[in-house]
A and B are shown apart, each in its own frame.
Chain A
Amino acid sequence: MNPRRSLRLVPLLLLAGGMAVWAVPGSAAVLAPPAHRVLAPAAAQATPAPTGTCDPTASLRPAGPPRVTPGSFMAKIRARGYLIAGVDQSTYHFGYLNPMDGRLEGFDIDMVHAIAKAIFGNPNKVEFKAISDDQRIPEVRSGAVDIVAHTMTINCARLKQIDFSTVYFDAGQRVLVEKNSPVTSIAGLGGRRVCATTGSTSIANIKAAPSHPIPVAVPYWTDCLVLLQQGDVAAISTDDSILAGLVAQDPWTKIVGPRFSNEPYGLAISQQHTDFVRFVNAVLQRMRTDGQWAASYAHWVGTPVPAPPPAHYLS
């Protein structure tokens, strides 16, 4: 394993940037309704219906199997010696730091290793950079990371700023409450405090919910679970994939209500690197067919394993 991997990551565990804004419960920084800086009106709808100009789940068609062509962005990454990936460090089973050995693991992380393997022949040639939800787009746009694998919903508002791969996971937003809560869906949370991360589509969906819950924004999903356990929020609402990871950490919680949004996950890449988007789509396509996607799903999400989300390409 590349030593960079764990070493870059281990410290991220702590405090990260969240600390600067993280204050004690009750302080304005944590509990104030979230700033809406990321929430353009279009983003408030998780998956707007495809319009004439935007079909969110359609990505660039790969040119055959993954291949590092000279002069491509992949060749630059290979010359650098490692892929730089922006990932989550606190979302159990998708991207989280395993405290047992200080390594990042999860379904998202598997995707990154597969891409590194396609470039280098070695899945561990990766420098992971743990980022929070609201840093995903800026990190991709600035070129600080080559790719973001971070339970990230593809939508039209985001497509204006960054490119996405084809869909590699289908999620939908639901509600998590404590086992003894009478709440059965988002409709029952009017006027109650509901937690999600800053810069996520989930917080926008909470805000847009007809029952008018009070959105509470924090840096990481585990921060939401801390607030729920301390009684500072009545519920957490986000993708069922993420909620399942929270239930796994606290058996005194349950997921309730139907999916009230569709959250197709894509890997985020700069719009300047369309060759890399095609390359990643080729890797994903191979994973869909050679059983690697299913193996990773079975390991991190569980069985039965559904069919992988089909690739949908721009014409």
Chain B
Amino acid sequence: MTAVGNPPKRGTVPAARRGPRQALRATGTPGKLRLLLIGLVVLSLAWGVVAAWVVSQRASGASDVVGTSEPLSLDGHQIYRALSDADATEASAFLAGGLEPLALRHRYLADITQAASDLESATAAAGHSPAAQNLATLSARLPTYAGEVETARAENRLGLPLGAAYLREASGLNRGTLLPAARDVSAQADRQLSAASGRATGLPLALVLLVIAIVVGYVLFRAQRWLFRHTHRTLNPGLLVASVAGVVSVLWLVIALGVVRADLLNAQAHGSAPVAALARADIAALRAHADESLTLIDAQGDDSFQADFLTVQHELGPGPGTLLTAAVTAARGTPGAGSAAAAAKTATAWYAAHRAVRSLDDNGKHIKAIRLATTPGPDHSGALFARLDGSLARAIAADQAVFQSNAVAGRDAFTGLEAGVIVLALIMVAGCARGLSKRLAEYR
């Protein structure tokens, strides 16, 4: 276009030096119409692309929350519960002496079945998330654990002390490898949940979208005003259709994003956040319970399990900054609030019963200590732990239901939105093209 070396014609400025406004002013109406057509088509397409991208980001965040991170966190917790119970149950079965009680055998088998089934659903949900490594560890070592327990039983049934050694080995594997892996699955899933939830509800992308919507709207408005002034036609049907499509897509987006955001924030505040806090408290309680049994079982003058119990008790609370108080606070106003508060109260009673157990055991009344720790009774420590664990489980189930309904509603609000904004953007493109090409045709 610029002929370098050729002298410029008088009265014309070299194109390279002209600004867009000057260029626009210098161009005739057909040229301006052509430019406007290109600009509007590009803007409409840009709007469609950005809006669809934002929607897909948010939809994937929402579906990650509903389909991956929350189920994974819950599965991790369920696996922990099942394995911890399996360990305690086998310990009790051996503790009973003689032939293993059938009820305990059934309970152990149910625990292993539960753990395996949760492990399978967690693995399916995890995909390539960070928890996959821990789930692989669980999958690889769970059969080893179960195998060692069965070997222990077989040796035990032959009357050989080797059975106790296999049980020790199995319990060490459970507590040393399986339980930490299950706890990490939950922790990783919780982190993944807040990231996904942030992706589905965050503001920055929505603001970018808003800016683009304002630009598109402004350009459409200016284009129609300019056309009105230059062509003296009151309405351009093509541009009108484009404008309506634009307004519809903006409204749809604003409503859907708003609804999803409200639903997911609600799911988080009244669902996943209290569930995570309650699950953390439950895991601490399960650990303290195991410590209590192990202190009774351990007669070697080693008080490390009792020391661990006291550490966990300190973390669990209730009291300022403790897990139970955090759980009660998180569950306030949710369906799980009542059970959470009951759990906090039971914890205090449990600690008192635990002190009674320790005092009996320390004063040589081992038999009474074991009875207080393992048999049912209103102020027996084993029964109080079961009540605490039950309250936490009920609170978790109640708040999990809140999460589920809100998060699913939120995810479903995105249905059809991505396709919708693309179709509407294409309608805008078609409207602009048709509206302006008709005007252009009048200049031929």
Contact = CB atoms under 8 A, between A and B. Distances in A.
B296 interface: yes
Contacts of A222: 161-162, 164-165
A22 B298 CA distance: 13
Interface string B289-317: 00000101111111011000000000000
B297 A24 contact: no
A300 to B, nearest CB: 14
A64 B172 CA distance: 50
B94 interface: yes
B172 A22 contact: yes
B171 A130 contact: no
B156 A99 contact: yes
Contacts of B366: 4, 7-8, 11
A18 B161 CA distance: 15
B300 A100 contact: no
A67 B159 CA distance: 38
A131 interface: yes
Interface string A14-56: 1111111011110100000000000000000000000000000
B165 A14 contact: no
A144 B302 CA distance: 12
B398 interface: no
B299 A16 contact: yes
Given A17-B302, A96-B161, A10 B97 contact: yes
A12 interface: yes
A14 B169 contact: no
B370 interface: yes
A16 B298 contact: yes
- Interface bin, chain B: 35 or more
A249 B152 CA distance: 13
A17 B302 CA distance: 7
Nearest to A224: B165
B166 interface: yes
A6 B95 CA distance: 11
Given A96-B161, A249-B162, A19 B172 contact: yes
Contacts of A100: 98, 159
Given A99-B160, A99-B163, A99-B164, A20 B98 contact: no
Interface of A: 3-4, 6-8, 10-20, 22-25, 27, 89-92, 96-102, 127, 129-132, 135, 139, 142, 144, 220, 222-223, 225-226, 249-250
Interface of B: 91, 94-95, 97-98, 141, 155-156, 159-169, 171-173, 175-177, 294, 296-302, 304-305, 364, 366-367, 370
Closest 8 CB pairs of A and B: A102-B97, A222-B165, A17-B300, A11-B297, A96-B161, A22-B172, A7-B367, A99-B156
19 contacts: A6-B97, A8-B299, A14-B168, A14-B297, A15-B171, A16-B300, A19-B171, A20-B305, A24-B169, A89-B161, A90-B161, A96-B161, A97-B161, A97-B164, A127-B364, A130-B299, A130-B300, A132-B300, A222-B164
